[in-house]
């Protein structure tokens, strides 16, 4: 239940009701307990189970769950949803040349920049070591491509710093949207993966799209 403090603020409460005998009469006794701490702890544990500790982005589990929900919404309403996948080019060489602390800085600083570019309804996820995804609800593929290109350019321009060392990084990105023929979210992920591999084969540091792939028959 939701209780109210003397100052008018709401507080989550548990109410336990039992019957007792008082002066020979059976009466009800209610014990009202403030469960703010327990509720906050539960929410924090849930949030931590769905969040990547380094970047603050959601994890792969949340990515899959949200993508399933977006596919269900698209199936019902036809409102477009798009996804951006990307990973860093030659990320291992950054770790080898500058150390793993440098790789961590690349991931953390990139995540901060991307958060500033997204709307509240967009969902940024870290789905692997240096692999990321952004779910863009209510977004046609052309808009997603424009955002992906903006993010790619920003990452390319960032001067990452580790003590006195300055270095750069680039990413290869892919963009995909749901098709009416998609039976599940897997179809979109496969197209995004194929486009990502095509972008890497084309020289990396670019944005590839499902538009360049063979279109499915309706």
Inter-residue contact 189 to 67 (CB < 8 Å): yes
Residue ranges of alpha helices (H) inside the chain are: 36-49, 60-77, 91-98, 100-117, 141-157, 185-201
10 catalytic residue (yes or no): no
Reading the block at residue 81, the tokens are 């949803």
Active-site entry in 40, 42, 116, 130: 130
In order, the DSSP letters of 201-215 are HTTSSSEEEGGGSPP
- Can you tell me the distance from the alpha carbon of 214 to that of 138, in angstroms, rounded to the nearest whole number? 24
Reading the block at residue 202, the tokens are 């084309």
- Can you tell me the distance from the alpha carbon of 45 to that of 42, in angstroms, rounded to the nearest whole number? 5
Residue positions annotated with a catalytic role? 130
């Amino acid at each position: 239940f939701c209780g109210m403090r003397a100052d008018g603020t709401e507080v989550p409460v548990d109410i336990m009701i039992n019957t007792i005998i008082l002066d020979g009469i059976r009466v009800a006794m209610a014990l009202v307990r403030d469960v703010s701490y327990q509720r906050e702890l539960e929410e924090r544990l849930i949030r931590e189970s769905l969040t990547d500790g380094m970047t603050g982005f959601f994890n792969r589990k949340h990515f899959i769950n949200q993508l399933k929900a977006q596919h269900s919404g698209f199936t019902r309403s036809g409102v477009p949803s798009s996804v951006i996948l990307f990973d860093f080019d030659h990320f291992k060489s950054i770790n080898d040349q500058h150390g793993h602390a440098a790789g961590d800085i690349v991931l953390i600083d990139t995540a901060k920049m991307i958060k500033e570019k997204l709307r509240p309804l967009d969902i940024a996820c870290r789905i692997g070591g240096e692999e990321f995804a952004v779910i863009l609800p209510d977004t046609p593929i052309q808009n997603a491509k424009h955002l992906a290109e903006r993010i790619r350019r920003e990452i390319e321009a960032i001067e990452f710093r580790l003590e006195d060392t300055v270095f750069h990084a680039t990413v290869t990105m892919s963009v995909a949207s749901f098709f009416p023929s998609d039976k599940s979210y897997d179809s979109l992920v496969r197209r995004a993966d194929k486009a990502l591999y095509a972008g890497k084969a084309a020289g990396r540091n670019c944005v590839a799209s499902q538009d360049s792939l063979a279109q499915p028959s309706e």
